[in-house]
Chain A
Amino acid sequence: MPFFQWEDIVTAFTLFIAVYMVIVILFYTVILLISMLQLRKEYKLDRVQVYEDYMEGIYTKPVSIIVPAYNEEAGIVHSVRSLLSVNYPAFEIIVVNDGSTDHTLDKMIDHYDMKEIKKVVRKQINTKPIGKIYQSAIFSNLFLINKENGGKADALNVGLNFSHYPYFCSLDGDSVLEQDAFLKVMKPIIDSNEEVIASGGSVRIANGCQIQNGRIQKIGLSDKPLVVMQIIEYLRAFLMGRIGLSRHNLLLIISGAFGVFSKSWVVAAGGYRTDTVGEDMELVVRMHRLLKEKGQKKKIVYVPDPVCWTEVPEDTTFLRRQRRRWHRGLFESLWIHRKLTFNPKYGSIGLLAFPYFWIVEFFGPIIELFGYIFMLLCLFLGGIYIEFAILLFLLSLLYGSIFSMAAVLLEEWSLTKYPKVSDIIKLFLYSLTETIWYRPMTVIWRCEGILQMLKGDTSWGEMKRKGVSE
């Protein structure tokens, strides 16, 4: 009888979803514990070590800061300004104008008195052709490269080709770095004596903070619910996910906003790929792959202390575009390197990290979506199905809200970045509501990303920049 089969299917699906969620919850729990232990140790360390004695170490590890710029006339001068006063003695700034159609180029040339220089640039990575190269007459470590439009990855590669130093970092024009950002992020690299080849810094959300003089003057919590939820998401992703993963060298994403890489390794891996929207993650995966293939025991780590503050979308239209794009990027990175999945040759990256990203990060939203659909379905069907619905609801509560609440508490326990008591309570209560509105929303968007990908959509969409500083 059809009804009989129907019943079985619903039960089977529900069971499947439930089991999936239980496994993920267990996994998250393990990562949470690892993160707790890691944070506990570093907790309350007063500051970055006296860097007087590091000076020699620092001078052997100068950093090239590459700033890809596309139509950033509103904030580029300002961003560069605050980069110039960064608290790190050895660095250069390379702004790459990616064929902007506005006055980005002129503003830069004007404000910084930039003069054309003739330089031979070795093409270590293939890029679109570059035009003129400029150097500032006021700040001799500030350069500007003009090129035709080729996308962020291409611009980064150009910056890489030109850079003089063994380390580089890529910075979005809109991010505000903390004063000691470089000292904190370079510390593992300097300390490890070249064993660490890439180091990522924690990204926090700038909306709601007081920013003046290119510095964060006061940290504050935004009023907008959408922003608050994103803050919680970031806390969760950074404090739990990345710390845990980084501990065992499983870090797959150094967020687009801030990370320092060893130039030689990135060049050896081939630079950034221009045909994917998730170029940062893809690069890191490729580097891990290269390390394993060469049998080298290098590490990619992550610094939990926030070093970079960035602006996030404040309304749903842009947030939606962003999430769809991220999910597509995730897929592209995983798919390009699919051969690593479950491949023992690639050690823990192949056996743990990749499966995690496939199963939990990529397919997760699809399963969660079905979970929500089934929850509603079961409520309609009534009877014993209501219990299924409750089961699924509780599981998604654990999966979502509860871990988010734990992340909020973890932040307060270890880093205490938010100054007011009301901030923490607000964050906690908002995370309680996550399962009911925010999570389903992002799940749907991520699934939309998958749909887009299936349809072959490769656009970035337009992101409106509000400008971060007052």
Chain B
Amino acid sequence: MPNNELFILSVLTISILCILVILLVYLTIRKAIDIKRREKIEKYKEIYNPLIFQLLTEGSYSRALTPESRLQQKAFEELLSSYANVLEGKEERKRLTEFAEIHLTEYYRKRLKSKKWSTRMNTLYHIDDFNMTSLLDDVYRLTKKNRLSHEELVHILRILALFQFQSLFQLLTNHYQYLSEYDYRHILIRLEKQQFDQFVLHFHKAELPLQKAVLEVISIKRERSYLPFIENIIFSYTGEVKLRSLKALAEIGYVKNINPYLNLLYSTKWEERMIAAKLIGSLKVEKAMPRLIELLHDQTWWVRYQAGQSICQFANGKDILRKVFETSKDVFAKDMAWEWLHKGV
């Protein structure tokens, strides 16, 4: 009978409506409070801004700069964040860090223990931005937590890397071998030479993703001091690792002896041809020019592109490109020559 169901339905609908209205009231009040809070924070920021500016630039400390209430701390945090994004002077950043460490350490210590994921993540961002090494142990302790989201974990490791944490190597090789190359790269790139060397030393025992990441970081940083290491890898590995190390070599852009690499220009793998072309460009090896011109006619776009770029790096590069453009019968080679002749309109 529709009567019964109707009754239940009406009751249901009305109760849901009531719940929604209650939620609305709650959210409205919350919003009103938030708006007031936001106004207060902005007022504090206005007061603090010139003081913080003075602190960062002259190091002069004002007693008015002691945040006590939660809102004041938030105002500081936001101001410091804005400054952290904009400033990069050594002295300035040091003062910023000092200031943050004095006033925000306790606050962040508590927030790192929060149950809310977003609170912890935001705190990690700030610790990162402000370079607060005072919280190194607290950040490290977070790794012992049971249910750590991937994003959180990677961020923690990145912070530890930034702080040049001594045991990072053990941590990564004993506890976190399942991370992706991408993650490792994000972490390792922040390491300075001393810590990074450990990874280079133990390269052969590392898993593939870690190896690739190490090579990638050397590529990005173009660290010449790792040249012997790289050349060693090139000749003792094959496949992806070899390819990556070739890439690193190309980025570094220098070898003592180019000859072992010349036959890569004829490799069956396009990546190797491309990287060899890049190396030739960096080192301006004249005798390889004919082959470079041939590579402008290569079937792979990337190889052609790289050949074009490398030719440009020679003194007479543009002339050569012009000749190719005028005389070649290959429409793609002409196109590539044209593109490099007109790079950066």
Contact = CB atoms under 8 A, between A and B. Distances in A.
Q: Consider the complex of A and B and state whether they touch directly, i.e. have CB atoms less than 8 Å apart.
A: yes
Interface of A: 41-47, 49-50, 53, 56-57, 115, 117-120, 135-137, 140, 191, 193, 384, 387-388, 390-391, 394-395, 397-398, 402, 405-406, 409, 412-413, 416, 419, 421, 424-425, 428
Interface stretch (B22-30, B255-263, B269-277, B281-289): B22-30
Given A44-B116, A397-B13, A406-B20, 8 more contacts: A41-B117, A42-B118, A46-B122, A117-B342, A388-B2, A409-B24, A409-B27, A419-B35
Contact of A50 (B5, B128, B181, B344): B128
Nearest to A137: B345
B220 A391 contact: no
B194 interface: no
Contacts of B34: 416
B20 A405 contact: yes
B338 A424 contact: no
A402 B5 contact: no
A318 to B, nearest CB: 32
Contact of A398 (B5, B16, B24, B186): B16
A135 B119 CA distance: 47
B9 A193 contact: no
A135 B125 contact: no
| Most chain A beta carbons < 10 A, residue from B2, B3, B28 | B2
A45 B13 contact: no
B332 interface: yes
A135 B338 CA distance: 14
A387 B27 contact: no
Nearest to A412: B27
B192 to A, nearest CB: 15
B342 to A, nearest CB: 7
B249 to A, nearest CB: 18
B10 interface: yes
A118 B117 CA distance: 53
Nearest to B17: A402
A193 B345 contact: no
| Most chain B beta carbons < 10 A, residue from A47, A416, A421 | A421
| Most chain A beta carbons < 10 A, residue from B23, B117, B345 | B345
| Most chain A beta carbons < 10 A, residue from B9, B34, B116, B220 | B9
5 contacts: A56-B185, A56-B220, A140-B344, A387-B6, A402-B17
A49 to B, nearest CB: 7
Q: On chain B, which size bracket covers the interface?
A: 35 or more
B182 interface: yes
B86 interface: no
Contacts of B13: 394, 397-398, 402
Interface in B181-220: 181-182, 185-186, 189-190, 220
Nearest to B343: A140
B9 A394 contact: yes
B335 interface: yes
A409 B345 contact: no
B323 interface: no
Contacts of B185: 56
Given A43-B118, A391-B9, A402-B16, A409 B35 contact: no
A120 B335 contact: yes
Contacts of B344: 140
Given A118-B338, A136-B345, A428-B24, A44 B9 contact: no
B20 A416 contact: no
A397 B117 CA distance: 36
B9 A387 contact: no
B158 A53 contact: yes
Contacts of B339: 119
B313 to A, nearest CB: 19
Contacts of B331: 120
Nearest to B81: A46
A346 B231 CA distance: 48
A405 B23 CA distance: 10
B31 interface: yes
Nearest to A57: B182
B180 interface: yes
Contact of B24 (A388, A397, A425): A425
| Most chain B beta carbons < 10 A, residue from A46, A57, A424 | A46
Contacts of A395: 9
Contacts of B190: 53
Contacts of A191: 182
B121 interface: yes
A45 to B, nearest CB: 5
Given A44-B122, A391-B6, A135 B345 contact: yes
Contacts of A44: 116, 118-119, 122
Nearest to B27: A412
A402 B122 CA distance: 34
